[in-house]
Structure 1
Amino acid sequence: MTDRLRYRVEGMDCGSCARKIETALTRVPGVSDISISTTTETLRLRAVDTGTGEQVEKVVRDLGYGITPVEEGTRHYHDHGTSDGPWWRSAKGRLTILSGLGLAAAWLLAWILPGYEAWLYTAAMAIGLVPIARRAVSAAFAGAPFTIETLMTIAAVGAVIIGETEEAAIVVLLFLVGELLEGVAAGRARASIRSLSNLVPKTAFIERNGGLEEVAAASLAVGDVIAVRPGDRIPADGVILSGESGIDEAPVTGESTPKRKGEGETVFAGTINTDATLRVRVTAAAEDNTIARVVRLVEEAQEAKAPTERFIDRFSRYYTPAVLVVGALVAILPPLVAGEPWGEWIYKGLAVLLIGCPCALVISTPAAIAAGLAAGARRGLLIKGGAALETLGKVTAVALDKTGTLTEGRPQVTDVIALGEASEREVLEDAAALDATSSHPIAKAIVARAQADGIEVVPAVGVMALGGKGVKGRARRRGLFLGSPKAAAAIAPLPPETEVRIGALQEEGKTVSVLLVSDQPAGLIAVRDEPREDALAGLRALRAHGIAPIMLTGDNARTAAAIARTLGVEPRTDLLPQDKLKIVNELKSQGLVVAKVGDGINDAPALAVADVGIAMGGGTDVALETADGAVLHGRVLDIARMISLSKATMGNIRQNIGVALGLKGVFLVTTVLGITGLWPAILADTGATVLVTANAMRLLGAGRSV
């Protein structure tokens, strides 16, 4: 009989950490079915008895991570452990600060006490290196002898051996800073996922005993009837029993224009009721509502994603042990086999070890990655790490959200049509007067257009919103009404030719409002969320890379088709978050490397499951945190520029590896032949490091042209 155990693992911030822990735990007798999530910092496994669980905790702690048992069944998306919080309070933060203070103290004392520099910098280095080396040793005993910690330890100790103690101390500090930043980024991602639950209100008004009672939203059960007031967020998924109102579904579908919904229609938790009270019957418990499902989809997608394995980890499995073996053979075999002088060949063996010092190789990839990321950041292209940067260059399909990604994300007035004797300017002036104090997206678009046309917007008097119909008021001693064609026709019949014009505008995906003056048709105003200025050029640039773009949207087919025709892109419409996730998975199953681009919470699951997720600049915090990168300036063209930057960076990495290994190969041969000794051997590594760094810095200039 086995027990299912669950733990919170503190400090597990990347796929490399997870692999290290999994490798170690597979060697523990009685442990099986290991499941690790870096997103939620959780470890799940099966153990034969309590003693096995205690051994699991010891192994994980020896690897340098904190571990705490957690009761199985706890809602994991509400609980992310104690590692979240100010970075300086974490174990990594304290170690990094201490190491930095030690380096500063060593520099000051070396200036005061010349001649003791080597001892001082070695002591400063030891502050950070001892914990790193301890983790390397623990990993080695647990079956993972050649980790990044092993490489770091070898590089630092090698630098001390050749007298570069100051460099060794700096390299150790930079390594700790890198680990700390990785932990901070992971913590922010976890916090953003947890913050999704805040979209659902904490309380709800439930109908009980002929009245309304305020209760905790989490206590709502399927079948309960609740009242949702204007301006409130809806606390549960449900069906409208009575009432009609505009529902702002941006938190779920990402669409900017509220939808009119009435009796019998579905509403989602976290969406906003805009203008009338609704009675809603609950159809899903708190743990199964739309927002909760989005959270689970994000976490499951991130758990299922196989992170790109760090190149240096892969290569070190063969490179580092090979160097040690070659050095030992060079030092021992010639004296033993051929009677060569021991001193001469030990000297050559030491030179081989110096040549094999992995400093240049270790820096070859991160130097290019850092330069590539910096080049992107200068242009507003935020890419979260080397794995995402590498994957971008392999993308073969891009799925783009419509609203806020391919379009501006807010309605704009596209047509102002005068009917009868009114002028277009008068139509716009009267409509803006009615909408002057409204916060509705369409109203704001009309007022913005009037102001852009130089019209002084004077608010109408007696303005009254008519739920589901429009708005009425008075201006210049005339009665005004602005609303839907259906509501306007109920007040004043519209001429057939006007009905035709309205239908044509609606076929173009536009929302049409009719203006009545003194109960007579005076004009039409059409609005639509228009494509971004560079959307067409951006899609062409993607096709130039051989990439097929498609458009995903929660909007209706007619509106989406109009935008798709303008941009020449394939549309997929009426999509909820799980639908977008399914489409991305389908594309991946076809062998495509998929990038998902979006800006809303509804995009988060698809952003997470895609090979690489990209958030647009004006997107929600959750989209930005879930994605692997972000286009901060909101330009569609920047997606293609990200891909170009990735390809340039990966080419630079290949060059760097060639330089690092090529120089080592040359000096290895000349050392064995007796042509070069220790000093040139040191140059083989330090010289390669300089060349590799200089080559990587070229990417900073390339960032302006990609």
Structure 2
Amino acid sequence: MQYHVEGMDCASCVGKIETALARMPGVTDVQVNFATEKLELTLAPDATTQRSDVEKTIKRLGFGITDYTDKKTAADTGSDDNHQDVLLAEKRWWQTLKGKQVVGLGILMSVAYVISLLFPAYGVWVFAVAVLAGVYSFARKAAVLAMSGSPFSIEMLMTVAALGALIIGEAEEAAAVVFLFSVGELLESVAADRARAGIRALASLAPKTAVLLDAQGGQRNVPAASLQVNDMVLVRPGDKVSADGVITQGTSSLDDSPITGESIPVVKALGDKVFAGSINLDGALQVRVQKTASDNTIARIIELVEEAQASKAPTARFIEKFSRYYTPTVMALALLVIIIPPLVMGGAWATWLYRGLALLLIACPCALVLSTPAAVASGLAVGARRGLLIKGGSALEIIGRVNTVAFDKTGTLTEGKPRVTDVVAFTDGRTNSQGGDKVLALFASVESDSNHPLANAIVEHAKTAGLVIPKAFNARATAGKAVHATVAERALAIGSPVYAAAEALLSAKQQAQIEALQNEGKTVSVLFDEKSREALGLVALRDELREDAQQGVAQLKAMGVRSVMLTGDNRLTANALASHLDIEWRAELLPEDKLRLLSEMKDNTEIAMVGDGINDAPALATADVGIAMGGGTDVAIETADVALLKSRVTDVAQLIALSRATLSNIHQNVIFALGLKGVFLITTVLGMTGLWIAVLADTGATVLVTLNALRLLRFKGARPLVTAPKN
């Protein structure tokens, strides 16, 4: 069962709901996500508890409840109900239930003050009426919470304090307590709504409608949620792309920033993939749908962010346990303050009762409990906005403590696509000359029927150069050694330098050229005539570094984080690339070798692993934090704790900087919450502060902790470094 719960103002509300539902027969697996206001639970089919009982319990606790499936369907289809939800979310504070309560209590308080001035004899009674009217809703909720297993709620503490003050004749101050508490509740509600704005912003990216094309080319508008796989849709200039899919017709620039955070528009054409929510800038596109609305990129991002915000960070779990003991301890202290001074020191009962009631208000742990989840929610939201998809508060905390980052090479530090870097014609010794073009055309001809990545790179390079590729006949391969074909009646072969040295005649100068290229980390293929054994030329390829790889590693080094490159490639290639990056390296590693190295490094340090392939999944799972490049395989992304949607190396440093900023924010919040309460505990016992100050100390601390957490939304990221390229 899934529900949308409205009215949760702080993380302690989660505990109240979970405690109440856990006591109901047949109800298990209760999970409440404060950030998304989502409730999930399992109800046994044969349980005496019914769905209506669950809903009644939530309502009695003072929260609104809506079936989550109905709400989500309305959101997907863009129905009027969803429009109403948006309107509700945009209500001004005075239009909400809590806002109306504050306004009503304010008017009641003002009337009471006026009457007390005009008719002093009746002032106490008027304030008493104001207190009883204002405290009723809180007392009712406190009673329900107590019966549901949460006797130490803030509502209970406030009710006892207000009624206690009324009993000892402090009616005016009791009224101030009720009013200030209501204002604090309203401020918490406004702050909580701000914290949830990130999820609403993500949800708003999803397109609501689509232009569906039928077999005859006709067009009609349909809800985007109704699109099925293989449907054809039209995306006009200025439209949002209505579904994840592939372009079947047209070319256009697309703004992918809503999905990946990449600010520069990307030109896409036939065969390129597009994402739902991207903005089509200039050309009309026809797109074949590949994923339904519930499975597209935006839906997956929202789901992962919701799951991340539902998972509690280690610090949050510790503080929740701490607060369970903290509140009863402070309540016991308040009782001792009320009893001991009058009995032992002969103090006035009224005075010490008043101070004990003030301590009750300070006992509320709202600010403390909220200190971590508020900061984590902001950190996750700003990460998602920057294309850093972090799967939980635990991962967000651990990342900031990482001091070693292990990078896979292919597809992570490099582009993952081999490119031709050198073409050498042995017949005339010239590179990229007339002879070089002829040799390249022959290379492409022999490789034209192969689907090997190196072959594809050679053929693509020849086409880009505008060369005419001769027709090849009798193409065949010698597994792991060479490819053969007949071109212009010549029997040609392309093989590795080792194979070519055995089958062809290579001069010392040619061998030296090959070795020089290999020492630069390049893969060399040699073309030769099989009959004459004459070497005709060579092509060198290399999987080039990403543009930001050097910058990303330099940023990590500046932050005191060690970087290590782990690769299955040969040592020459690894050494050549590592020298450009100024990075440690380990080469010729099998997947199990990576696991062994990570396990060894984990003994002495917190380590993150960055990868993108299926073979990286075990290593990503083994590391303290697994980070997947967004352009990688689904297996790697699902296994990892973090996905970098922009596939940028510099985002690893941004991720660590964000985590460190979040941890710092959490520490500030905890120190502030405990410090403020500690100060007012002392001043209250000494009689320097009273009830209404105690209320401000509690609600004010909660609001300020939330506002401090919201500062993370302005996170600027790690400072970029300007590094000179290595020669």
Match of 1:671 in 2: 684
SS at match of 2:417: coil
- Structure 1 residues 399 and 705: CA distance shift in structure 2, 3 A: closer
Match of 2:436 in 1: 424
- Structure 1 residues 575 and 317: CA distance shift in structure 2, 3 A: farther
Match of 1:622 in 2: 635
State the Cα distance separating 1:660 from its structure 2 match.
Answer: 1.7
Match of 2:667 in 1: 654
Are 2:587 and 1:551 equivalent residues in the alignment? no
In 2, the alpha carbon distance for the partners of 1:539 and 1:351 equals 54
Match of 1:681 in 2: 694
In 2, the alpha carbon distance for the partners of 1:619 and 1:697 equals 32
Q: Which amino acid aligns with 1:594?
A: I
State the Cα distance separating 1:339 from its structure 2 match.
Answer: 4.9
**Which structure 2 segments of 5+ residues have no match?**
1-14, 16-21, 31-36, 44-50, 67-84, 106-132, 163-177, 200-312, 429-433, 720-727
Match of 1:401 in 2: 408
State the Cα distance separating 1:525 from its structure 2 match.
Answer: 0.9
| Correspondences of 1:160-239 after superposition (within 5 Å) | none
In 1, the alpha carbon distance for the partners of 2:140 and 2:423 equals 72
In 2, the alpha carbon distance for the partners of 1:704 and 1:568 equals 23
Match of 1:538 in 2: 552
Match for residue 389 of structure 1 among 390, 396, 404: 396
Match of 1:220 in 2: none
Are 2:712 and 1:699 equivalent residues in the alignment? yes
In 2, the alpha carbon distance for the partners of 1:410 and 1:651 equals 40
Match of 1:566 in 2: 580
- Structure 1 residues 371 and 109: CA distance shift in structure 2, 3 A: closer
In 2, the alpha carbon distance for the partners of 1:63 and 1:345 equals 46
- Structure 1 residues 581 and 485: CA distance shift in structure 2, 3 A: closer
Residues 475 and 486, structure 2, Cα contact 8 Å, conserved in 1: no
SS at match of 2:335: helix
In 2, the alpha carbon distance for the partners of 1:431 and 1:516 equals 10
State the Cα distance separating 1:112 from its structure 2 match.
Answer: 12
Q: Which amino acid aligns with 2:562?
A: A
Match of 1:449 in 2: 461
Match of 1:91 in 2: 41
SS at match of 1:101: strand
State the Cα distance separating 1:455 from its structure 2 match.
Answer: 1.7
Q: Which moved more, 1:106-115 or 1:488-497?
A: 106-115
In 1, the alpha carbon distance for the partners of 2:673 and 2:38 equals 36
Residues 109 and 120, structure 1, Cα contact 8 Å, conserved in 2: no
CA shift digits 1:672-694 (9 cap, x unpaired) = 34443332222112211222222
State the Cα distance separating 1:531 from its structure 2 match.
Answer: 2.0
SS at match of 1:321: helix
Q: Which amino acid aligns with 1:497?
A: K
In 2, the alpha carbon distance for the partners of 1:584 and 1:447 equals 38
CA shift digits 1:450-472 (9 cap, x unpaired) = 344x4256573546232425445
- Structure 1 residues 447 and 126: CA distance shift in structure 2, 3 A: farther
State the Cα distance separating 1:367 from its structure 2 match.
Answer: 1.7
SS at match of 1:310: helix
In 2, the alpha carbon distance for the partners of 1:697 and 1:109 equals 24
Residues 379 and 713, structure 2, Cα contact 8 Å, conserved in 1: yes
In 1, the alpha carbon distance for the partners of 2:500 and 2:330 equals 83
TM-score, normalised to structure 2, is: 0.56
Match of 2:422 in 1: 415
Higher radius of gyration, 1 or 2:
2
- Structure 1 residues 394 and 458: CA distance shift in structure 2, 3 A: same
- Structure 1 residues 580 and 351: CA distance shift in structure 2, 3 A: same
State the Cα distance separating 1:362 from its structure 2 match.
Answer: 1.4
Match of 2:379 in 1: 372
SS at match of 2:628: strand
Match of 1:505 in 2: 517
Match for residue 648 of structure 2 among 635, 646, 653: 635
TM-score, normalised to structure 1, is: 0.58
In 2, the alpha carbon distance for the partners of 1:652 and 1:465 equals 63
Q: Percent identity?
A: 50
SS at match of 1:618: coil
Residues 654 and 717, structure 2, Cα contact 8 Å, conserved in 1: no
State the Cα distance separating 1:442 from its structure 2 match.
Answer: 1.0
In 1, the alpha carbon distance for the partners of 2:158 and 2:482 equals 75
In 2, the alpha carbon distance for the partners of 1:493 and 1:437 equals 26
In 2, the alpha carbon distance for the partners of 1:331 and 1:123 equals 22
CA shift digits 1:139-185 (9 cap, x unpaired) = xxxxxxxxxxx79x7357668895868997997x989x99xx9xxxx
In 2, the alpha carbon distance for the partners of 1:612 and 1:450 equals 42
State the Cα distance separating 1:526 from its structure 2 match.
Answer: 1.2
Q: Which amino acid aligns with 2:540?
A: A
In 2, the alpha carbon distance for the partners of 1:416 and 1:646 equals 46
Residues 513 and 525, structure 1, Cα contact 8 Å, conserved in 2: yes
Cα RMSD after superposing both structures: 4.7
